[in-house]
Amino acid sequence: MAQPPKKPLGPSTTAVHGGETRPKLGNSLVTPIVQTATYTFTNTQELRDHFDGKIERVEYGRYGNPTQRVAEEKLAALEGAEDCLLFASGMAAMTTTLFAMLSRGTHVVVTDDSYRRTRQFLNQTLHKYGIEVSTVPCGDYEALEDAIKPTTRALVSESPTNPYNRVLDLERFGEIGRRNRVKTIIDATFATPYNVRPLDYGIDVVMHSATKYLGGHNDLLAGAVLGSRVIIDAVRGMQGITGAVVDPFAAFLLVRGLKTFALRVQRQNTNAQAIAEFLASHPRISAVHYPGLATHREHAVAKRQMRGFGGVVSFEVTGDIDTAARVVDACEIPYLAVSLGGVESLIEQPAIMSFYELTTEERMQVGIKDNLIRYSVGIEDPEDLIADLAQALDRAFG
Ligand SMILES: *Cc1c(COP(=O)(O)O)cnc(C)c1O
């Protein structure tokens, strides 16, 4: 008799057990770090079988490593993807994927409010190689569709976006891609597969900076690309050439970090919601950008498609660039640092961090306000984080 289909495992069970082989080398409970550059073959026949695709095994470090493979299979299980490929960083994942999908004379549409280096890669680097890029406002689906041409190969967006936490209607984005035979790519670093799985909504490719929530401890750099076997194989071929591979130790740290991933993100979701609500009711705060607030312009979409609203809260203080800097400096628990997603809370002012070399006018053009603060909420106790923010606002405006 056929077995009834098994109920899919939950995110925490998948985070702990997904992708893990049993038993492991040396009966180790934990996935070992296979610290080797190359792999040996018993004889020429084994080499032939490998190249003929008759056996599956590793060959050389640039084409994969067993520790890396466990991390990839764990992530694929979490994201509901056929396959996953890891990289040395999130940007390595983004750039290699786009190099694999595009060629001279093709065209990409990207939504605005996205990671600065992604924008630069599209508008400066790819432009140099004869690839055209159009930027459309996030949330304007007519503009998105109008921007598509016969040469368009990819639609690229983040969701939620950095730093304003705009949320894309993934179903609609995916549908526009399919109807126009264009691949859709979502950088879901801010969401993580705990909060949303874009592939479930018909998106073709999901990207992550695994440096952020997936690693989760501010101690590694890695990137991931997930999607169908066909797409990931093409990207893997390009990675074999460009060489931006994750090293075995970073892959080990990622496997370790991923085991607590669902727990951490759950806590970061509730912490961020509490902080967003506190800030929204504070007289010195003029705007809070968090999808979990009913005032957020995509709150309805976010509620429909996300399990939680993420751990980043962006907000604007009443006052100028210096007032915001005083608030940042008066906080005692979060570190002043770039990046996000780790167990430690981090705080930064985009105008004096990622966008420092621009003038105020140039920053306004890309939508970065001087009084904007981005708070990446960690796993500390919410009442401590709120008390700290309250004293910081009191001191800054004192
Ligand atoms: C950090 C980040 C990246 C780049 O990732 P790295 O691991 O730093 O290379 C890309 N997209 C988003 C949304 C990010 O937050």
Residues 6+ apart with CB under 8 A from 306: 167, 191, 195, 196, 291
Residue 187 falls in the annotated catalytic set: yes
For residue 362, the model assigns a pLDDT of 85
**Overall average pLDDT of the 249-269 stretch:** 98
**Overall average pLDDT of the 189-214 stretch:** 98
Residues of the chain with CATH 3.40.640.10: 11-258
Ligand 1 pocket mutation pick from 86, 87, 89, 91 by most atoms within 8 angstroms of CB: 91
Residue-wise pLDDT for 292-334, tens only, equals 999 999 999 999 999 999 999 999 999 999 999 999 999 999 9
CATH class for the domain made up of 11-258? alpha beta
pLDDT of residue 1 exceeding 60, the answer is: no
Residue with tokens 């004379």: 105
Q: Which of 187, 247, 370, 388 is catalytic?
A: 187
Residue-wise pLDDT for 153-189, tens only, equals 999 999 999 999 999 999 999 999 999 999 999 999 9
Share of the chain above pLDDT 70, in %: 99
C-alpha pair distances (Å), 93 with each of 191, 223, 246: 17, 5, 10
Mean per-residue pLDDT of the chain: 96
Overall pTM > 0.85: yes
- Residue 367 confidence class, pLDDT cut points 50, 70, 90: confident
> Measured in angstroms, how far is the CA atom of residue 328 from the centroid of ligand 1?
22
Residue 183 falls in the annotated catalytic set: no
The mean-pLDDT minimum among 227-241, 266-280, 343-357 falls in: 343-357
More confident residue, 393 or 2: 393
Give the ranges where the chain is alpha helix by DSSP (H). 11-17, 44-51, 66-79, 90-101, 116-120, 127-128, 141-147, 170-179, 192-195, 229-242, 248-259, 261-280, 299-305, 321-330, 360-365, 382-397
Residue 149 falls in the annotated catalytic set: no
Beta bridge partners of 134: 109
Residues of the chain with CATH 3.90.1150.10: 262-397
What is the C-alpha radius of gyration for the chain, rounded to an integer number of angstroms?
22
Residue 212 falls in the annotated catalytic set: yes
- The CATH number of 262-397, from 3.90.1150.10, 3.40.50.2300, 3.40.50.720, 3.40.50.300, is 3.90.1150.10
